[in-house]
Amino acid sequence: MTYIITIAQQKGGAGKTSLAAHLAATWSIDKGRRVALFDLDPQKSLTHWFQVRSEKLAEANTMSLWPSQGWRLANELTRASRDADVIVIDCPGKDDLGTRVAVRAADIVVMPVQPSPIDVWASKTTLELIAKEGTPALIVLNRLPSRAKLTDHLIVDLKRGSVPIARSALGNRISFAASFVEGKGITETEPHSVAAAEIKLLADEIWRKVSSAGRRAAA
């Protein structure tokens, strides 16, 4: 059984690539799962992270990165699933053909949202795409301040929608970026940090959701 986790959000800079890398590292290192990555974003940030990782870890890097183009993605996912327990797809900051295929093929779409009005409003297009494809999804609050009235108000707005909000949120933590430049996940560089605890909780929450839902029929 291979689970496909698509990280999508048309708002740029929401935290898609960061989430993809840290979740992938957690599943690979902490859980020993075989992870395949797809980087659909022309910026190729996840690819860059993977290249640094491959150089630094050499054979110890057990993840694979797959080439991907929008129209060939469905076939490539089928091939990748033969040797992977989990496929993590990083989408670009716009809902293009590749994103649509990735949302359709996913067992779950994970959508990072930063708790600011601009980010919440800009999430609408991705939420509509998720609804259209009928894929289970989870909103992840990213860079969440510990206390803010604005945040509370925005969360109430988000909760009115049909996509549930993950119980595990991520704080605004510089250590996420620091481990990213080393080609690593936070659970590898600072395993006992608050940031690592947040990612582990989120990784477990997503895993519980997909494994309890079982594999969706291929689209």
Ligand X SMILES: Nc1ncnc2c1ncn2[C@@H]1O[C@H](COP(=O)(O)OP(=O)(O)OP(=O)(O)O)[C@@H](O)[C@H]1O
How far lies 197's CA from each of 172, 186, 203, in Å? 14, 9, 10
- Is position 93 an interface residue for ligand X (rule: CB under 6 A)? yes
CB 27 to ligand X: min, Å: 17
Each residue 4-23 as x (binds ligand X by CB under 6 A) or -, in order, gives: --------xxxxxxx-----
- Residue 15 to residue 170: CA distance in whole angstroms: 10
CB 145 to ligand X: min, Å: 11
In which residue are the tokens 């707005």 written? 157
Each residue 9-48 as x (binds Mg ion by CB under 5 A) or -, in order, gives: -------xx---------------------------x---
Angle at alpha carbon of residue 165, lines to 160 and 166, rounded to 5°: 165
Please state whether beta strands 86-90 and 3-7 pair in parallel, antiparallel, or not at all (unpaired): parallel
Q: Residues with Cβ < 8 Å from 166, sequence gap 6 or more? A: 110, 138, 139, 140, 141, 202, 205, 206
- Is position 181 an interface residue for ligand X (rule: CB under 6 A)? no
Q: Which residues pair with 90 in a beta bridge?
A: 7, 39
Q: Residue 193 is encoded by which pair of tokens?
A: 């940090």
CB 193 to ligand X: min, Å: 12
Interaction residues for ligand X, span 28-47 (CB under 6 A) = 41, 43, 45
Among 1, 177, 213, 219, binds ligand X (CB under 6 A): 177
Site size with ligand X, rule: CB under 6 A: 19
Q: Residues with Cβ < 8 Å from 211, sequence gap 6 or more? A: 3
Q: Which is nearer to Mg ion, 17 or 135 (CB)?
A: 17
Residue nearest to ligand X (CB): 93
Give the footprint of Mg ion on this chain (CB under 5 A). Answer: 16-17, 45
Q: Which residues bind ligand X (CB under 6 A)?
A: 12-18, 41, 43, 45, 93, 142-143, 170, 172-174, 176-177
